[in-house]
């Protein structure tokens, strides 16, 4: 059983290194895209989200898709 654990550990290490390398590339591209400006990722306050979703109302006309686990709202 020891060889199986070693193989899984090695695979996990390879996956971890790949994720880190890809993350570095994405971050470098984001920095390059921003051209030294502030972060372009938009954030919203809780009050803005509540207002936009009508307090997460089930009768909201902005709901694009809803399942038992989530609701997808249309952007404004």
Q: Mean pLDDT over all residues of the chain?
A: 76
Mean pLDDT, range 46-59, rounded to an integer = 81
Domain housing 29: 1-36
Q: Are residues 1 and 32 in the same domain?
A: yes
- What was the pLDDT predicted at 56? 76
Q: 26 and 9, same structural domain?
A: yes
SS3 assignment for 45-73: CHHHHHHHCCCCCCCCCCEEEECCCCEEE
Number of domains in the chain: 2
Distance CA 60, CA 68 (A): 16
């Amino acid at each position: 059983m020891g060889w199986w654990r070693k193989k899984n550990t090695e695979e996990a290490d390879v996956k971890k290194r790949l994720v880190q390398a890809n993350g570095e590339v994405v971050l470098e591209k984001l920095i390059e895209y921003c051209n030294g400006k502030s972060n372009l990722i938009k954030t919203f306050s809780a009050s803005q989200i509540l207002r936009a979703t009508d307090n997460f109302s089930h009768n909201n006309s902005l709901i694009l898709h809803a399942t038992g686990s989530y609701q997808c709202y249309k952007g404004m």
